[in-house]
A and B are shown apart, each in its own frame.
Chain A
Amino acid sequence: MGYEFIEGNEAIARGAMRAGCDFFASYPITPASSILHYMNDFVPEAGGLVIQAEDEIASLGFCIAAAMAGRKVLTSTSGPGMSLYSENIGLAIMGETPLVIVNIQRQGPATGSATKGAEGDIQFTRWVTSGGLPIIALSPATVEEAYELTFIAFNFAEKYRTPLFLLTSKDLGVTKDSANLDLVKLPPRFDRKKLPPGQKEYLPHYFEKPEDVPLISDFGGDYIARYTTSMHDKAGYLTANPAVIQEMIDHLTAKIESAIDDITLVKEDFQEGADTLVVSYGVISRSAAVAIEEARAKGRKISSLVLQTLWPVPEKAIRDAMKGIKKVVVPEMNMGQYLIEIEKLAPPDAKVIGVCKMNTTLVTPGEIIEKGGLL
């Protein structure tokens, strides 16, 4: 096969199809709408269904229920839609629902500069709903990675029975690029582990160790299924028992936090003797790559760490990359949202510099060189 000239949103849709997605609901919003269009082209042909919902609340409501009925589900939106997703994201976490939520970020707050790029929803994604429990978020930098990470997001969602967030921005979503998706190496597809036949009953939230992922049984399947928005016991029945509630909270937390090594995806490009490290993610990691190449060409030693997993924070990878580092540069299309995570982990004698802006334009290689003092 050869190259195609496609935008990130199409790569996301194709990554989802490759993962076996057969249900998609969404509400139109620029710059995410074209995912709705692509899925509308792809999903019915594969025997599934696409529905344009009346709002983002219904969109995620449809998705959660379809996922619990056995479908592999994708939805997509942008910042203002994420605000409306918030309540149902809490439900998806509570009910341990596997699904993938794509946020093609746009400049905000509110309607922002409609419709220009920015990546201002990084911390919003982490704290998107009440309760503050951990979530998993991945961020692709290229069209190929959009395809790859969407596929992987489905794997993680299925493996850990949790909503998975794919965070990118307009600058990847609707920028066309020459890409060859056939060359992208994908891991084996992972589908949710189901309760085998012949058991006495289905306990929808059964675990032995807190980090265990409960086996699932579909609504309409062989076992009677229960799903609830309320704090529940392992059988899915409402409980007011503080000990049982804490056990469930510990489970929902441990399930994600203990997966950190499995879900950490980073790209390391370290230079021997470097005392400067650039930590970047998303499309801005591409500006960083140009800046680093230029600085290296002029004899500077600079290491690079590109994060594909944003949440939970890949702390070990970040700490390892910062060993012996005196200066850390963090370019972002927001006012320093991941910078605060890096500051928490940086060695006490290291200087951490944010190269931040949210004026709708990409952080340029020149800005990273200049503000980050790479030369």
Chain B
Amino acid sequence: MTYTTYMTDKIGPLPFCPGCGHTILVKALDQALVMLQFDPKKIVIVTDIGCIGLSDRYFTPHGFHGLHGRSITYACGLKLARPELTVITLMGDGATGIGGTHFLNVARRNIGITLLVGNNFNYGMTGGQHSVTTPTDGITSTTPWGNPEGPMDLCGTSVAAGAAWVYRATMFDKDLPEVIAEAIRQPGFAFVDVWEMCTAYYAPLNKLKKQEIFDLLSGYGFTIGLQVDKPRPEYSVKYRQAYEAGKGVLKSKPPIEPKFGNSVQKQTGIIIAGSAGQKIKSAATLFAEGSIFAGLKATQKDDYPITVQTGHSVAEIIVSPNRIDYTGIDNPDYFILISEDGLARMRQTIVKLPETCVLYASEEIELPETKAQVRRLPFRELEKKVGKLSLSTASLAAMLKDSGMFPVEAFKEAILSFQSEKIADINIKAIEAGAELTSKSSSAG
């Protein structure tokens, strides 16, 4: 079948004021759609708030009417969800202003929607206030002495943001339907800035007629016509290509089947405190996974500054024979301190440690007064032996061996299950070196 129009008078004639540019723009869009002859079920007209936002309901394709300045986001959502749809957004200069970040980002992303801005230099719907495109010195209801602000060059802004196809037009252009059809044909993002007259407010207040609009354009040095035409792959196409090329990188972790025993009788809290870059977080995870291999339940919380490569890194691990309800550690059972950064962060906790807590501290660290049972260990020497990245693993192994909570083999099992062969090899040696440290000290003590 042939479509002779994509508009309907079901709810009456177009509502715009006599002489308003929106009527011309909306009819030009209809003519463009007639040229293209797409199935109306595969077209969505997206609008938001402003006079031009009244227009979607006069079209026969799908209509999406959203919040002020957000129509670009809805159009993108529709296009991303169903790339086969032709998605056309009609919005005003007011919406372009409030939705400025969407206007920039759609251009940069090159999502294949068509954006038509009915640019009439003011907010017609709310009483003729100034907008981001009101010319300098322009009279509006909010700039009664002349607009002190400068106007935004929508085309220039879109081009600068990376738009693939941008065209500046006016309501007087005879070829506006062809221009809009060409915009819709673009696979990527296409933007047409249509300079118009608001016959209710801006045009009468500023004695703006056809010639004055052309004078404004030439005054800014703006040209009518194509501003950029640099096609590149549309977002969804590029997204799929990138995914297809990069997939298979991710591996899911196998589940843990308990296969070792343990001697843990109650919920036991362990804190390890050190510095960023000591792999404390991942060592703590592997330790906890080791405890699950030993038939225990475990939780882990981490604390580190937002600048992840400086300052402290602290992990709190709980292991328990039963389900862990309360995940806070009010009275730690074991505390491992491997650097000054850890002390700086945890000083108050260390001061308050109970006498039931065993504190494993690096020999050179000057400790505050604490009731905890302090075990001094040569962590600096251990670090030289196992490497900076494995001290956390080695110190956890030292604590594990000393405490006898569960077999060191369970910790090793986690390392072998979840780390690459090369790193696992290093960390297994770290576990052995750490465990040796306390099996000696225990026997000596």
Whether the pair B324, A177 counts as a contact (CB closer than 8 A) is yes
Kindly identify, within residues 50 to 107 of chain A, every residue whose CB is under 8 Å from any CB belonging to chain B: 51, 53-55, 57-58, 61-66, 68-71, 87-88, 90-91
Whether the pair A3, B292 counts as a contact (CB closer than 8 A) is yes
Whether the pair A176, B258 counts as a contact (CB closer than 8 A) is no
CB of B148 closer than 8 Å to a CB of A:
no
With CB as the reference atom, state the residue of chain B lying closest to A362: B328
Whether the pair B66, A287 counts as a contact (CB closer than 8 A) is no
**Roughly how many angstroms separate A3 CA and B85 CA in the complex, as a whole number?**
44
CB of A270 closer than 8 Å to a CB of B:
no
**Roughly how many angstroms separate A65 CA and B72 CA in the complex, as a whole number?**
11
What would 25 A/B residue contacts be, using CB atoms closer than 8 Å? A5-B292, A23-B80, A44-B243, A58-B76, A65-B78, A69-B77, A69-B78, A175-B301, A177-B299, A219-B82, A220-B78, A220-B84, A221-B41, A222-B41, A223-B41, A224-B40, A225-B63, A229-B66, A236-B63, A237-B11, A289-B325, A289-B326, A361-B328, A364-B326, A365-B326
Whether the pair A88, B292 counts as a contact (CB closer than 8 A) is no
CB of B353 closer than 8 Å to a CB of A:
no
With CB as the reference atom, state the residue of chain B lying closest to A51: B80
Kindly identify, within residues 57 to 110 of chain B, every residue whose CB is under 8 Å from any CB belonging to chain A: 57, 60-67, 70, 73-78, 80-82, 84-85, 101-102, 104-105
Whether the pair A70, B81 counts as a contact (CB closer than 8 A) is yes
CB of B289 closer than 8 Å to a CB of A:
yes
Whether the pair A219, B78 counts as a contact (CB closer than 8 A) is yes
**Roughly how many angstroms separate A68 CA and B255 CA in the complex, as a whole number?**
37
Q: Which residues on A sit within 8 Å (CB–CB) of B327?
A: 171, 175, 177, 283, 286, 362
Whether the pair A4, B64 counts as a contact (CB closer than 8 A) is no
**Roughly how many angstroms separate A131 CA and B26 CA in the complex, as a whole number?**
32
**Roughly how many angstroms separate A90 CA and B67 CA in the complex, as a whole number?**
10
Q: Which residues on B sit within 8 Å (CB–CB) of A236?
A: 63
Whether the pair A61, B73 counts as a contact (CB closer than 8 A) is yes
Whether the pair B102, A286 counts as a contact (CB closer than 8 A) is no
Which 10 pairs across A and B sit closest by C-beta, in order of nearness? A61-B73, A65-B77, A69-B81, A66-B81, A62-B77, A2-B255, A286-B325, A65-B74, A2-B257, A176-B300
Whether the pair A226, B62 counts as a contact (CB closer than 8 A) is yes
CB of B298 closer than 8 Å to a CB of A:
yes
Query: Known contacts being A4-B253, A226-B57, A237-B11, is A178 close to B247, with CB within 8 Å?
Result: no
CB of A290 closer than 8 Å to a CB of B:
yes
Whether the pair B326, A287 counts as a contact (CB closer than 8 A) is yes
- One of A41, A68, A90, A286 near B326 (C-beta < 8 A): A286
Query: Known contacts being A5-B285, A58-B73, A219-B44, is A224 close to B60, with CB within 8 Å?
Result: yes
Query: Known contacts being A224-B40, A362-B327, is A5 close to B298, with CB within 8 Å?
Result: yes
For residue A280, give the distance in angstroms from its CB to the closest CB of chain B: 11
Q: Scoring B residues 387 to 409 as 1 if CB is less than 8 Å from chain A, else 0, what string do you get?
A: 00000000000000000000000
Q: A45-B247, A224-B63 are in contact. List 11 more A-B contacts (CB 8 A).
A: A4-B253, A5-B289, A49-B80, A49-B81, A64-B66, A64-B74, A66-B81, A175-B301, A176-B300, A221-B41, A226-B63
For residue B53, give the distance in angstroms from its CB to the closest CB of chain A: 9
Q: Which residues on A sit within 8 Å (CB–CB) of B257?
A: 2
**Roughly how many angstroms separate A375 CA and B275 CA in the complex, as a whole number?**
42
CB of B297 closer than 8 Å to a CB of A:
yes
For residue A317, give the distance in angstroms from its CB to the closest CB of chain B: 22
With CB as the reference atom, state the residue of chain A lying closest to B236: A49
Main secondary structure of the interface of A (DSSP, over half): mixed
CB of B239 closer than 8 Å to a CB of A:
yes
Q: Which residues on A sit within 8 Å (CB–CB) of B297?
A: 177-178
CB of B137 closer than 8 Å to a CB of A:
no
Query: Known contacts being A49-B236, A178-B297, A290-B326, is A61 close to B250, with CB within 8 Å?
Result: no
With CB as the reference atom, state the residue of chain A lying closest to B330: A364
Whether the pair B255, A3 counts as a contact (CB closer than 8 A) is yes
Residues of chain A having any CB pair with chain B under 8 Å: 1-5, 23, 25, 30, 41, 44-45, 49, 51, 53-55, 57-58, 61-66, 68-71, 87-88, 90-91, 114-115, 171, 174-178, 180, 218-230, 236-238, 283, 286-287, 289-290, 361-362, 364-366
Which one of A5, A51, A91 has the highest number of Cβ atoms from chain B below 10 Å of its Cβ? Answer: A5
For residue B120, give the distance in angstroms from its CB to the closest CB of chain A: 22
Query: Known contacts being A49-B80, A65-B78, A286-B327, is A227 close to B255, with CB within 8 Å?
Result: no
Whether the pair A5, B300 counts as a contact (CB closer than 8 A) is yes
With CB as the reference atom, state the residue of chain A lying closest to B80: A49
With CB as the reference atom, state the residue of chain A lying closest to B10: A237
CB of B256 closer than 8 Å to a CB of A:
yes
**Roughly how many angstroms separate A178 CA and B236 CA in the complex, as a whole number?**
37
Whether the pair B77, A64 counts as a contact (CB closer than 8 A) is yes
With CB as the reference atom, state the residue of chain B lying closest to A61: B73
**Roughly how many angstroms separate A61 CA and B81 CA in the complex, as a whole number?**
12
Whether the pair B239, A49 counts as a contact (CB closer than 8 A) is yes
For residue A375, give the distance in angstroms from its CB to the closest CB of chain B: 17
With CB as the reference atom, state the residue of chain A lying closest to B49: A229
**Roughly how many angstroms separate A283 CA and B324 CA in the complex, as a whole number?**
11
**Roughly how many angstroms separate A225 CA and B60 CA in the complex, as a whole number?**
10
- One of B77, B258, B300 near A175 (C-beta < 8 A): B300
Q: Which residues on A sit within 8 Å (CB–CB) of B325?
A: 286-287, 289-290
Query: Known contacts being A62-B80, A220-B44, is A227 close to B63, with CB within 8 Å?
Result: yes
Q: Which residues on A sit within 8 Å (CB–CB) of B70?
A: 57-58, 61, 87-88
Whether the pair B40, A58 counts as a contact (CB closer than 8 A) is no
CB of B444 closer than 8 Å to a CB of A:
no
Q: Which residues on A sit within 8 Å (CB–CB) of B250?
A: 41
With CB as the reference atom, state the residue of chain B lying closest to A5: B289
CB of B357 closer than 8 Å to a CB of A:
no
With CB as the reference atom, state the residue of chain A lying closest to B288: A5
Kindly identify, within residues 295 to 336 of chain B, every residue whose CB is under 8 Å from any CB belonging to chain A: 296-302, 306, 324-328, 330
Q: Which residues on A sit within 8 Å (CB–CB) of B230?
A: none
Query: Known contacts being A2-B255, A2-B256, A286-B325, is A65 close to B75, with CB within 8 Å?
Result: yes
CB of B210 closer than 8 Å to a CB of A:
no
Query: Known contacts being A63-B77, A362-B327, is A224 close to B255, with CB within 8 Å?
Result: no
With CB as the reference atom, state the residue of chain B lying closest to A60: B73
Q: Which residues on B sit within 8 Å (CB–CB) of A49?
A: 80-81, 236, 239
For residue B66, give the distance in angstroms from its CB to the closest CB of chain A: 5
**Roughly how many angstroms separate A7 CA and B11 CA in the complex, as a whole number?**
53
Whether the pair A54, B102 counts as a contact (CB closer than 8 A) is yes
CB of B42 closer than 8 Å to a CB of A:
yes
- One of A51, A58, A175 near B101 (C-beta < 8 A): A58
**Roughly how many angstroms separate A53 CA and B104 CA in the complex, as a whole number?**
12
For residue B442, give the distance in angstroms from its CB to the closest CB of chain A: 28
Kindly identify, within residues 197 to 252 of chain B, every residue whose CB is under 8 Å from any CB belonging to chain A: 236, 239, 243, 247, 250
Query: Known contacts being A58-B73, A62-B77, A114-B306, is A220 close to B299, with CB within 8 Å?
Result: no
Which one of B41, B64, B299, B301 has the highest number of Cβ atoms from chain A below 10 Å of its Cβ? Answer: B64
Query: Known contacts being A49-B239, A228-B65, A286-B327, is A176 close to B77, with CB within 8 Å?
Result: no
Q: Which residues on A sit within 8 Å (CB–CB) of B306?
A: 30, 114-115
With CB as the reference atom, state the residue of chain A lying closest to B299: A177
Whether the pair B57, A176 counts as a contact (CB closer than 8 A) is no
For residue B55, give the distance in angstroms from its CB to the closest CB of chain A: 12
**Roughly how many angstroms separate A236 CA and B70 CA in the complex, as a whole number?**
19
